[in-house]
């Protein structure tokens, strides 16, 4: 069952990340675009700490459309597919440039990888993607993955990078997945509701009965708590433990503080 006491999670989540062989980190649009674009150097500093500890890190970053929209002189996310694709084409370039500028200070080089759901489903494409990611990691490159929104169709409207990150974690046999957003943890009800309590730990296979899981509240992102829970279960099934927390709290987690919600992996189910 889920540990629904605020202090009941594994306080060593940061230590476990440092001890991991391979970690996939996913960050949402609202955390790295608009007024929050200044979070990129902070996020990169956390990734660099893991890399310096010998961890292989893959970043799955949303935010291409949200980053590109202001450069198209638009006030809000476009509704038509062609303009979404145009915004993604502009925004992806700017977003990766911002990441690389921050990474350069840590002497880390990024490698851009754009995928669609079809790439993961198609055995040939999936094998190519796996080999490319493995080689990038062998060469000391930090892969930055995003959905290929410029050529995607329904993925732009209904897809989310939480699922993509979980599929990437499965693809490369990562032992940890970190899902970062503007919400600090999973709660027993929407966090703004009276009596909502943080769920510190979710045991493998826990159906989370009685938990009210909401959808996205952001005007930019496509995923809410429901998509994160689904992604966490997908990764946990493949043996990757999952930490769900706020982007701004990742540094504190690495320092040993207890934040977020930890989803136990299948491989840990009989050991805890």
Residues in binding site for substrate? 62, 149, 161
Distance of CA 5 to the CA centre of its chain: 25
Sequence ranges of the binding site for ATP: 26, 181-182
Q: Pick out the residues of the known binding site.
A: 26, 62, 149, 161, 181-182
**SS3 label, residue 27:** strand
As given in the structure block, the two tokens for residue 170 are 């499965």
Residues 6+ apart with CB under 8 A from 205: 269
- C-alpha triplet 52, 180, 228: angle, nearest 5°: 130
Cβ atoms of residues 271 and 206 within 8 Å: no
Burial (CB count within 10 angstroms: exposed 0-12, middle 13-18, buried 19+), residue 271: exposed
- Measured CA to CA in angstroms, residue 205 lies from 35, 114, 186 at distances of 38, 31, 16
Query: Taking CA 229 as the corner, what is the angle to CA 224 and CA 231, rounded to the nearest 5 degrees?
Result: 95
For residues 2 and 208, the answer to whether their CB atoms sit within 8 Å is yes
Q: Which of 47, 12, 16, 20 is nearest to 256 (CA)?
A: 12
Classify 178 as helix, strand or coil. Answer: strand
Q: Which is it for strands 241-246 and 261-263: parallel, antiparallel or unpaired? A: antiparallel
Residue with token string 């310096």? 52
């Amino acid at each position: 069952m889920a540990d629904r006491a605020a202090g009941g999670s594994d306080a060593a989540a940061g230590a476990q990340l440092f001890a991991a062989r391979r970690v996939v980190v996913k960050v949402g649009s609202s955390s790295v675009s608009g007024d929050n674009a200044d979070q990129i150097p902070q996020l990169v500093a956390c990734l660099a700490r893991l890399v310096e500890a010998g961890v292989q890190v893959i970043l799955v970053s949303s935010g291409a459309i949200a980053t590109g929209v202001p450069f198209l002189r638009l006030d809000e996310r476009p509704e038509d597919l062609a303009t979404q694709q145009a915004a993604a084409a502009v925004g992806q370039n700017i977003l990766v440039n911002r990441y690389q500028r921050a990474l350069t200070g840590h002497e880390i080089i990024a490698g851009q990888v754009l995928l669609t759901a079809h790439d993961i489903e198609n055995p040939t494409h999936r094998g190519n993607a796996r080999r490319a990611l493995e080689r990038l990691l062998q060469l000391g490159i930090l892969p930055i993955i995003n959905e290929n929104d410029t050529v995607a169709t329904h993925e732009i409207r209904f897809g989310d990078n939480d699922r993509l990150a979980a599929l990437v974690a499965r693809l490369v046999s990562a032992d940890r997945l970190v899902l970062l957003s503007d919400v600090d943890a999973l709660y027993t009800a929407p966090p703004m509701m009276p009596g909502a309590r943080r769920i510190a730990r979710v045991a493998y296979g826990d159906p989370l009965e009685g938990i009210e899981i909401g959808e996205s509240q952001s005007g930019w992102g496509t995923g809410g708590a429901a998509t994160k829970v689904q992604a966490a279960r997908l990764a946990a099934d493949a043996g990757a433990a999952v930490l769900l927390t706020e982007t701004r709290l990742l540094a504190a987690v690495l320092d040993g503080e207890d934040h977020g919600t930890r989803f136990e992996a299948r491989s840990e189910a009989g050991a805890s």
